[in-house]
Structure 1
Amino acid sequence: MLLRVNTQMWKQICALQHSPRCPIIGVQFRRKITQQAQQQPKIEWTTSIPTGKKDKDKITALGWFLLLIPVTTFGLGCWQVKRKIWKEQLIKDLHKQLHTAPVELPEDLRQLDAMEYQLVTLRGNFLHDKEMQMGPRSLIRPDGVETQGGLFSQRDTGNGYLIVTPFKVADRDDIVLVNRGWVSRKHVDPKSRAAGQLSHEVQLTAVVRKGETRPQFTPDHKGGHIYLYRDLPRMCADTNAAPVFLDAVYDENSPQNSPIGGQTRVTLRNDHLSYLVTWFSLSAATSYLWYRQIVKRIPF
């Protein structure tokens, strides 16, 4: 009986709440329900930590640190551009220096260390009994064109050796090494070019050169008179010459089959173009990856 009375009272209360005749009770009830709903915390059923939009767009310290990669590679590319301009200008200056007026061979031969590719004049006699060959080498013609020749070439017109001969400077006790020029394979033997083996005092103009370090995979010189590169210490030890190497210039009046002078090569590596392309390419690639991953957060 009691349960029936309570049920009837509850129905009357519910009907009274929605009745237009009792607006006060309905409004108060709805207000109380709304307040309770606002006080209850909203539960999000998720396994991740909720973050706001600003947190998602924010670049972390690691992201800014990774930006150093494209910035650094771009800076290295700019540096290689400057190096390329400097190297090209240096090569032009050296070629120009080869056509300047020659100077007398200095009394102090140590001054030649700072005179590479400069022209000097000197008088004296060749010591043909200590002649050496360096090669094989291709011929540089007087017009500057280099013939095709190498170690396995059999063409006498393009393959041969450079004749390096000690030179006793007149009125001095100094002996220097002079690269007289290029001869073909069939004229490597001095007897085949006897007219060019000058025994009297001569005056010549030559280009100051320095020694070379042993190229990679090139065997070391262990003796003999054939050299693969300008091994100045060993050449000087074999001939008692000072550590001075000179390239004789081209002489159109030299005897037939004599060594052909003018075989100076301006050997300066200029790989800066490939370097700058590499660095700028890396900068562009890493910049794209940084923008995609750090800024836009687009996964791969």
Structure 2
Amino acid sequence: MSVLVRQWCGLGQCWGRYTVVHKISSSLLQTRNCAKKIQLGYTQGNLGPVRRLTTRAAVNTWNPMSIVLLIIPAGTFCLGTWQFQRRKWKLNLIEELETKTTALPIDFPEDVSELEDLEYQRVKLTGTFDHSQEIFLGPRPLMVGGDVKQAGSSLISSGQSGYLVVTPFKLADRDLTVLINRGWVSRRQKKPETRLDGQVTGVVELTGVFRRGEQRAPFMPKTTEGSILFTYRDVDKMAEQVGATPVFLDAVETQPGGPQGSQTRATLRNEHFSYMMTWYSLSLATTYLWYRRFIMGKPLM
């Protein structure tokens, strides 16, 4: 009896081992069949590529090409910020210019060098004109209200083009002669005898706007030596030619029968806002393209 029991127990242990082995074999077989099905589906195009656990962004974001292309949005952003600062500077300059041109005139300083920091400042003077040494600056268009006069939707005709009459002016309280831009005359009134009523004599008091000299533009012809016609405001050359101090002022008032005064163009171009928006827009667009390509891993188009 005991022998039968032992044999029976032995058979049970063998059956248990067989069951475990059978289960393991079945699991391995199912895994193998599953792998074959996946491989077959991928080969036939029924399955997409198997994704890796690591993202494409983590692999491709900081390669040399992405770093180089990141310079474009960064650089355009810096340029936009620079234009923002330039716009602030220009607005302050325009405000300062408007303040000077509308402020009460000051007396002509004892030290002429003080005028160097006072461009567009109104200055009061008393003295006499020397009409025998008139100089002409031009050709120039007529200025009205600080801007070029227009006829309809276009600039004034060529017949209205003329010259600025620059006349030496000797101060009454000292031995000093300066240059006064008395105003604009047409080509027909260039000769002094055509405007005798405006050739003021004797001591006069006037208000002028201090102006610095101009730099000759590359396309502008040079002034002929000894000529009374200047194409740009070369204050040093003008003063040397008539024996005056290199100080130039635009007359504010108009003398009856004489040149039309107030020919100061006290405006500054301020296009920095459009430049700023252009650079910032480029920065935003290139930043999006960089993010789409190197972070999202998508094609640009």
User: How would you bin the TM-score normalised by the shorter chain?
Assistant: 0.7 to 0.9
Distance 1:53 1:194 in 2: 95
Decide which structure has greater helix share: 2
Distance 1:272 1:145 in 2: 21
Counterparts in 2 of 1:86 and 1:101: CA distance versus 1, 3 Å: same
Counterparts in 2 of 1:155 and 1:94: CA distance versus 1, 3 Å: same
Counterpart position of 2:46? none
Within-5 A mapping of 1:38-57: 52-57=52-57
Alpha-carbon RMSD:
3.3
What SS does the aligned partner of 1:134 have?
Answer: strand
Counterpart position of 2:176? 174
What SS does the aligned partner of 2:183 have?
Answer: strand
What SS does the aligned partner of 2:182 have?
Answer: strand
1:232 aligns with 2:199: no
Task: Please say which of residues 259-268 and 21-30 is displaced more in the overlay.
Answer: 21-30
Find 1:91's aligned residue among 90, 94, 99: 94
Counterpart position of 1:191? 193
Question: What 5-or-longer segments of structure 2 have no aligned partner?
Answer: 1-13, 40-49
Counterpart position of 2:8? none
Task: Please say which of residues 216-225 and 110-119 is displaced more in the overlay.
Answer: 216-225
Counterpart position of 2:45? none
Shift of 1:93: 2.9
Q: Structure 2 counterpart of 1:249, which letter?
A: V
TM (norm. structure 1) is 0.76
What SS does the aligned partner of 1:259 have?
Answer: coil
CA deviations 1:114-138 (Å, max 9, x no partner) are 1111111111121222211111222
Find 2:216's aligned residue among 214, 217, 233: 214
Counterparts in 2 of 1:292 and 1:187: CA distance versus 1, 3 Å: same
Distance 1:237 1:277 in 2: 47
1:268 aligns with 2:268: yes
CA deviations 1:57-82 (Å, max 9, x no partner) are 21215435643432342243234234
Distance 2:127 2:76 in 1: 55
Q: Number of aligned pairs?
A: 267
Question: What 5-or-longer segments of structure 1 have no aligned partner?
Answer: 1-20, 45-49
Find 2:84's aligned residue among 81, 85, 88: 81
Counterparts in 2 of 1:53 and 1:31: CA distance versus 1, 3 Å: closer
Shift of 1:264: 0.7
CA deviations 1:72-129 (Å, max 9, x no partner) are 4224323423432432342133123212111111111111001111111111121222
Do the aligned partners of 1:138 and 1:148 also contact (CA within 8 Å) in 2? no
Shift of 1:31: 5.0
Q: Structure 1 counterpart of 2:132, which letter?
A: D
Counterparts in 2 of 1:145 and 1:218: CA distance versus 1, 3 Å: closer
Counterpart position of 2:294? 294
Q: Structure 1 counterpart of 2:57, which letter?
A: D
What SS does the aligned partner of 2:102 have?
Answer: coil
Distance 1:290 1:57 in 2: 12
Counterpart position of 1:203? 205
Deviation above 6 Å: which 4+ runs of structure 1? 32-35, 149-152
CA deviations 1:193-246 (Å, max 9, x no partner) are 112122312111101111111123112222311112211222122122222110
Q: Structure 1 counterpart of 2:127, which letter?
A: G
Counterpart position of 2:7? none
Shift of 1:52: 3.8
CA deviations 1:10-54 (Å, max 9, x no partner) are xxxxxxxxxxx977468548858989xx9xxx9x9xxxxx99442
Counterparts in 2 of 1:151 and 1:188: CA distance versus 1, 3 Å: farther
Counterpart position of 2:72? 69
Q: Structure 2 counterpart of 1:54, which letter?
A: T
What SS does the aligned partner of 1:166 have?
Answer: strand
Do the aligned partners of 2:146 and 2:265 also contact (CA within 8 Å) in 1? no
Distance 2:269 2:148 in 1: 18
TM (norm. structure 2) is 0.76
Shift of 1:266: 1.5
Q: Structure 1 counterpart of 2:252, which letter?
A: V
Q: Structure 1 counterpart of 2:193, which letter?
A: K
Counterpart position of 2:256? 255
